Chain A
Amino acid sequence: MPAVIVALAIVFGSINPNFWSATNLANVSRQMSILALLALGQTFAILSGGIDLSVGSLLALVSVICAQQMKNFGLFEGITAGIVAGGLAGLVNGLIIARARVPPFIATLGMLVAARGAALTLSGGLPIAGLPREFLVLGAGYIGPVPIPTVIAAVAFVLAHGILRRTRFGRYVYAMGSNEEAAVLSGINVANYKMLVYITSGLFAGIAGVILTSRVISGQPTLGEVQELYSIAAVVIGGGRISGGVGGIGTTLMGVLVLGILGNGLNLVQVSSYIQNIVIGVIIVGAVYVDLARERRR
């Protein structure tokens, strides 16, 4: 997969030298950061043997709540409210999945629809403008040459990697996804850790939602449509197993890079966005196919 990414970069770079320009790289990474954060949360959900279909809609709900609270109470109150809203929605997902034992696909499908509805209800279906000027720095600012969203996503990757590889919670995420029944019989409190998985996913969606709100300079109830599907694609393209237990932050990073570079590169070489979708669709299936074929040959 790293080879594919390098190949893509070389091809796009040779067709359009602008690909390698500092401005473009900064832009790509900034655009990718939202998907990256959603994919991180999705990685937890899928690794644990579940899925989180609600993350796209949560972007919208977080955006609306963040913008409203920011106008009412101030900058930090708004940011906090947005992230907490993401976490709470994740908690609701977790309760429904772990306590009521509704399958994750259904539980988060319900949240996908309901969160969108909540975002539209709270905002009356209209964008919420008039956010403080300082807030724009979050989405548009730089630390040195690197866009702030990129820095946040990078920190989140390191953090998530640490959680998955160096904490009990992380190990249990793998164990649940590998064999849930064995996990129960090994004394793992599976219900609690599942809740934690969906709270984690919700929090990442919360952070992504706040950054996206800053980028569009308003609370938008229509943000994030289909993003949950791209986040799932990012997880599986890199080699994460859709049924759980296999994968990690490394493979998800690969998936995010492939999707990000592909989108940007195809734009630069002036492939229409309609055709881009076809290409990305083929890549999603093709990547998983190659992975499975390699597995079968073992």
Chain B
Amino acid sequence: MTDASPFLQLQAIVKRFPGVLALNNVGLDVVPGEVHALLGENGAGKSTLIKVISGVYRPDAGTIQIDGRPVDIRTPHDAQALGISTIYQEFTLAADMTVAENIFLGREPLRVRALSIVDRKALIRQTRDVLGSLDLQIDPEATVKHLGVAQQQMVEIAKALSLDARLIIMDEPTATLTSHEIDRLFEAIARLKQRQVAVIYVSHRLDEVKAVCDRATILRDGTFVAAVPVGSTTIDEMIRLMVGRDLKDKFPKVKSEPREEMLRVEELTRKGVLHGISFNVRRGEIVGIAGLVGSKRTETARAIFGADPIDSGRILLRGTPVSVRTPGDAIEHGIALVPEDRKRQGIFATLSVWENVVLSALRRFSRKGILDVRREKQHAQEFVASLRIATPDLEKRVLDLSGGNQQKVVIAKWLNTNAEVFLFDEPTRGIDVGGKIEVYRLMGELISRGAAIVMISSELPEILGLSDRILVMREGRICGEFDRADATEENILNCALRGAA
């Protein structure tokens, strides 16, 4: 396959931003029908490169060739006309329109051309054809907002296909998918390959890259490191190429003996959502919660944290029942929630690093509502140092930090409240390999100091690598519990899919 002539070829691409050389002499070639992984830590230049290919950025130097002919991609529209479609993490579908309307948006088959009257029957028929070619069971007349994330993604792929895309760029396509849905995505990718459509696949999940990609181009700090065949390269080798060093311990776990019970949840119920959730967590223990997306794990954490109301059940801390009706109550009792969607729920992007770090603990830095700003900053500085948050200074807006450092800022905010129960919801989503290890190390430090951790994660290696005990949720119920020793990916998945331990 690699001896086929490339569809897309980039040579010596340079892209500068004020103060940053984002891409330095980067090359990439993609042949028809290949799935090409683009790997690198956050900040390595993957997003910039994608944006250059899809016409969002224009390179400062270098050439782009399609089918051997130099091209100039000035706008996303140019890219589309050249057969390049991009599926971003945040989908660009119109939520209130139907599947068919979305796929043919702006290109609707017309019945009376002069009056722009849409031929609805042809629209539905053509949509069915496109969906059928991907073997998708989606109703063309369904409203997009009523579809699940996975189906919306399929609609995006179908749309790209209907635009005669010859290259589809997928940016972290599996970030919000369950493992079952990931399989469906891989099937769709296989169909694209058969049709000689190329895919550029950006993901932090190297096991997926291993499963679905043919070749991988690896970037580090804006430079090209290597292009390797995926089949003959191990995951460890890929990691080494990405970070430029060996990562011995992917899951550094502090040895910590679980001690007395810290948090106990009894029969937590919210009508139609949570059904009699009961479990406990001890000091010095990490309890992992696995399950498919939609199994109500996030809702469980939110209920414990007082962010969602509950209909019945109780929460005990150190053996004493407590009333948690608002996040404020939870914080007072020493419970912290590191939410799954960092941008939407965790950080205050336009505020500075120090303002973020102290935000949940302002009571401690104020008297009668008046803040002691100097003490706030001092304190924030200590956390920035001890958590090794990479920021040029305290005044930097959190917006400008990398994902891993943003997550550390969120964690620092909770360390500040003297929390002892930490609810981590997808703690490493969208964070690069190096950043993940830092987050794991922090979690290890927390339990060694006697905190209790509940960790929700959709990444099974993470669940298996870090948890002392593992709970599996399905449809708002806990359907299984495993000790670290007995847990395997198979039995967890089995439980999550079928509800039997």
Contacts and interface: CB of A to CB of B under 8 A. Distances in A.
Interface stretch (B152-160, B177-185, B364-372, B492-500): B364-372
Contacts of B305: 185
A110 B200 CA distance: 52
B362 A168 contact: yes
Contact of A187 (B331, B339, B351): B331
A189 B449 CA distance: 30
A232 to B, nearest CB: 19
B372 to A, nearest CB: 9
Interface residues of A, number: 25
A185 B331 CA distance: 10
Nearest to A172: B362
A241 B399 CA distance: 15
A178 B346 CA distance: 11
Contacts of A174: 348, 350-351, 355
A245 B351 contact: yes
A133 interface: no
A247 B417 CA distance: 28
Interface string A164-204: 01111101101100110111111111000000000000000
Given A171-B355, A171-B362, A178 B18 contact: no
B350 A245 contact: yes
Contacts of A245: 348, 350-351
Interface stretch (B68-76, B91-99, B322-330): B322-330
B344 A179 contact: yes
A179 B341 CA distance: 12
A167 B349 contact: no
Contacts of B327: 184-187
Nearest to B376: A171
A5 interface: no
Q: Helix, strand, loop or mixed for chain A's interface?
A: helix
Contacts of B332: 187
B290 interface: no
Contact of A182 (B331, B345, B371): B345
Interface string B114-142: 00000000000000000000000000000
B20 to A, nearest CB: 11
Taking residues whose C-beta sits less than 8 angstroms from the other chain, chain B's interface range is 20 to 34
B243 interface: no
Contact of B413 (A172, A186, A297): A186
Given A168-B366, A245-B348, A186 B18 contact: no
Contacts of B471: none
Contacts of A187: 326-328, 330-332, 360, 417
B359 A179 contact: no
Contacts of A179: 344-345, 347-349
A287 interface: no
A183 B359 CA distance: 9
A162 to B, nearest CB: 9
A275 B348 CA distance: 42
Contacts of B347: 179, 182
A138 interface: no
A40 B175 CA distance: 43
Given A182-B346, A298-B18, A171 B307 contact: no
A246 interface: yes
A241 B351 CA distance: 13
Contacts of B362: 168, 171-172
Contacts of B413: 186
Given A171-B371, A186-B327, A186-B359, A297 B18 contact: yes
A181 B346 CA distance: 8
B84 interface: no
Interface of A: 165-169, 171-172, 174-175, 178-179, 181-189, 241, 245-246, 297-298
9 contacts: A167-B366, A168-B369, A171-B355, A171-B371, A174-B350, A178-B349, A182-B345, A182-B347, A185-B305
Given A166-B370, A184-B307, 9 more contacts: A171-B355, A171-B359, A171-B362, A178-B351, A179-B348, A179-B349, A186-B359, A188-B328, A189-B326
